[in-house]
Structure 1
């Protein structure tokens, strides 16, 4: 490993044409719905917990043309991304660059309560990775930490 930063799988994101059609599958598997939100009329994401720590996100397009409609048109419904929670996003990015394994950051966004980057799926795994560093105030006006985080706290709190 090229960094010493705590990191863990936060959730997997599944692109779907319709949450209403896909949700019964997750409920039959024993998932519990945690939240249902819309992002700027671009897409809807619904978050589920399975067991004590596994989480799945369904992502449904709202806009007629978007990254999600393009994805669904090219690939059909299924795995869209794997989100990894990291304690220090810059250290992980430096580690990716040092690995020199076709790991390229293609997008970075800074929000009030978290920072995220996406690692291109044009890597040997073929997977789009979303790396997220949650800031200390991420829990404000959200679900309790037990609902938001694997093991009830940010990765740096429970693994540091």
Structure 2
């Protein structure tokens, strides 16, 4: 039902200050971001390292759904997002187990489908379950172009093998010469 944890969402009052902290100080890479006029908030995805992601969300106007959450604080963890390959099946499983959910949304073109589980039904954590393609939301700096699934780069001691990760982004493996030769042999044997 759940493929992986996609990101942790942090709600903040000051988007620019949070972006400076995560991007300029901690080295996060900007991904997709947009404003939602209907719910009066802005969101920005950031990648850290090879696979970790944060979403920074902030109100854009009075009446945002974040107003209550940020009433007495500058920021905090708002929710976690879990990725699923089939939201309909995830909803059926929750219903089967008597777990209520809300906020079912399907965005145009099927690019993002989501539901939420209230913290009172998830041990104090707001859980978002979403169906989407992770690479659609990442910077080109942290993912391969379409149709490229791996890359091999020669290093002084062997090679770096970089793969497209199914959860979006890339993951790298440094191999010494002996490991590189064993991998090449294993691949050859597997394809015979």
| 2:39 paired with 1:49 | no
User: How far has the Cα of 1:76 moved from its partner?
Assistant: 4.9
- Superimposed CA distance per residue, residues 14-59 of structure 1 (whole angstroms, 9 cap, x where no aligned partner): 0000111212321322311223321227111111000111110110
Q: Distance in 2 between matches of 1:45 and 1:63?
A: 13
Moved >2 Å (runs of 4+)? 27-30, 97-100, 141-147, 151-155
Q: Which has the larger radius of gyration?
A: 2
Match of 1:40 in 2: 37
User: Structure 1-normalised TM-score?
Assistant: 0.76
Q: Distance in 1 between matches of 2:138 and 2:51?
A: 18
SS of match in other structure, 1:23 = helix
Q: Distance in 1 between matches of 2:52 and 2:60?
A: 26
Taking only aligned residues, the RMSD between alpha carbons, in angstroms, comes to 2.8
- Structure 1: tracts of 5 or more residues without a match: 156-160
User: Structure 2-normalised TM-score?
Assistant: 0.64
Match of 1:121 in 2: 119
SS of match in other structure, 1:70 = coil
- Structure 2: tracts of 5 or more residues without a match: 145-163, 169-192
The total of aligned residue pairs comes to 144
User: How far has the Cα of 1:111 moved from its partner?
Assistant: 1.1
Match of 1:87 in 2: 85
